[in-house]
Amino acid sequence: MGLGIALTSCGGGSGDARPQTLPSKASSAAPASTSADPDAAEKAAVLAAYSAMSREQMAAYRTASAKDTELERYATAEALGQIRNDLARMQEAGTVVRGELAHEAEVTALDMDAQTPTATLSDCVDLARYETYDSKARKVIPLPTEQPLRYVMTASAQRWDGRWMVTGLDTRGGQTC
């Protein structure tokens, strides 16, 4: 099985819903970064969709099955196909995933003016607590020696009917992070 894993954590809301009032002297010392990015709410929504898809993906990898997951809610046919291919390889090999992945995802590009809004994400994936487990032999399969424990992977997303969907995953991890 390849390391076709794409899990992240993310979050955040936007400060765009603040009332239009003048700040007091006490609040003027607060950082203005939450409202400085006019796309902050959309970026947060992209990251939330990616994080949800990643949680569902990890749930599927823990059992080598997409049964009882909501992957289709967060991933389109292309991204879902990649995950299903991984699951098929896992079932054939008798492997599952144990442990956790750490993630640092960010939206690196956002095009809200496109006919279908698009986003690109960069995720620093950390495999330090990730394991592939051979359930037949009942042992952990070590990562390949050339596999960096931290690497950058990318994902793409599109906004469909008002919600963000992960459309593609590039898990090749061309660089370390």
- pLDDT band of residue 15 (cuts 50, 70, 90) is very low
pLDDT average, residue stretch 7-25: 33
**CA count, 13 A, side-chain hemisphere, 27:** 6
pLDDT of the residue at 175 = 87
Q: Report whether 101 contacts 127 (CB < 8 A).
A: yes
User: What is the C-alpha R_g of the chain?
Assistant: 19
pLDDT of the residue at 34 = 52
pLDDT average, residue stretch 35-50: 92
pLDDT of the residue at 132 = 95
pLDDT average, residue stretch 38-54: 96
Top pLDDT among 25 and 109 is at 109
What's the pTM value of the predicted model, to 2 decimals?
0.77
pLDDT tens figures, 125-177: 999 999 999 999 999 999 888 889 999 999 999 999 999 999 999 987 668 99
pLDDT of the residue at 173 = 67
pLDDT of the residue at 158 = 98
Residue 132 bridge partners (DSSP): 97, 141
**CA count, 13 A, side-chain hemisphere, 149:** 7
Q: Report whether 156 contacts 165 (CB < 8 A).
A: no
pLDDT tens figures, 86-122: 999 999 999 999 988 888 999 999 999 999 999 999 9
